Amino acid sequence: MAKVEPRLEKARAGATNAEIKGKIIEFAWHLKKNGYREATIRGATKELKILARRGAKILDVESVKEVIANQPWAESRKLRVANLYTLFLKMLGETWNPPKYKPVHKLHFIPTEKTIDQMISACGKKTSTYLQLLKETGMRSGEADKLLWNDVDFERCTVNITPEKNSNPRILKVSKELVGRLKALPRTSDRMFGNRSYNSPRNAFCQQRRRIAKRLNKPKIAQIHFHTLRHWYATKLYYETKDILLVKARLGHKRIDSTLLYVQLAEAVYGKGELDDFVCKTAKTPKEISDLIEVGFDYVTEMDGLKFFRKRK
């Protein structure tokens, strides 16, 4: 049973909207003092505001339980909101018997590269550059948001990633084309993509994504989120290299358990599909060999004085 102190009992009886808003702001500050990330704080306060708008009396645990139960959310989101409310009550010195939700774990949606490229090319200049960066590096959107101009080596075509979520830092190569697009962005602040708020990049992307999916008649595009590009990157990288430690390093994972998912995803998504098709070339002279390597061909074997190379289509 919830432990209810007299002050909370009184607040439940008739808390005004202003008082509820004040408690949510107090909760945000409480999380910040305890070292929670900005994205986590914004997400937590957003969920409490949604509960309030949908009729929950934030200081009444039974009311909150009822509203959560009536939402058409996935079990995983209901569990996340319940856990956030537990933290909220802890700030107030209260406890509750939280509802029991068991998320159903499903494999991530992995779109085809063609679908991703169609979406990126149809977005605006800044959004498409942002998405191309996520596609080529597999970085989190929060890491992209924090990217400074000094983090990009325009000569070496590398990006120095400041990690989040307790990940490892890393430096990754990107294409010359992407470097050119990054250089063309307006320099309005120290951050490459400006001082972006939590909602603005996502809202802008969601609006463009819906329009593109409708215009191209491709519903799959509407399922793509920022983090989908990270899953696609890791799945494709593992399938191409079969090197789980390389995938772990590129994603910045601390633990291999977080990376092993992509072994199953690669098998489920690609199987013996599109990435098993190769273009094969032979070379004999040093110039022919170097020309093939420069355009991405990998050495396979040698026979009758010829070196054989291949590259995935």
> Per residue in 296-308, pLDDT tens?
888 888 888 889 8
What is the pTM assigned to this prediction? 0.73
Average pLDDT over residues 138-164: 94
Q: What is the reported pLDDT for 7?
A: 47
Q: Please say if the pLDDT value at position 165 is more than 80.
A: no
More confident residue, 39 or 177: 177
Note the pLDDT tens digit of each residue in 98-111.
999 998 878 899 99
SS3 string of the chain?
Answer: CCCCCHHHHHHHHHCCHHHHHHHHHHHHHHHHHCCCCHHHHHHHHHHHHHHHHCCCCCCCHHHHHHHHHCCCCCHHHHHHHHHHHHHHHHHCCCCCCCCCCCCCCCCCCCCCHHHHHHHHHHCCHHHHHHHHHHHHHCCCHHHHHCCEHHHEECCCCEEEECCCCCCCCEEEECCHHHHHHHHCCCCCCCECCCCCCCCHHHHHHHHHHHHHHHHHCCHHHHHCCHHHHHHHHHHHHHHHHCCHHHHHHHHCCCCHHHCCHHHHHHHHHCCCCHHHCEEEEEECCHHHHHHHHHCCCEEEEEECCEEEEEEEC
Q: What is the reported pLDDT for 180?
A: 96
| Residues of the chain above pLDDT 70, percent | 90
Q: Please say if the pLDDT value at position 28 is more than 60.
A: yes
Note the pLDDT tens digit of each residue in 254-281.
999 999 999 999 988 887 554 456 788 8
Structural domains of the chain ordered from first start: 6-91 (no CATH), 113-269 (1.10.443.10), 277-312 (no CATH)
Q: What's the mean pLDDT when you consider all of the chain?
A: 88
Note the pLDDT tens digit of each residue in 61-73.
999 999 999 999 9
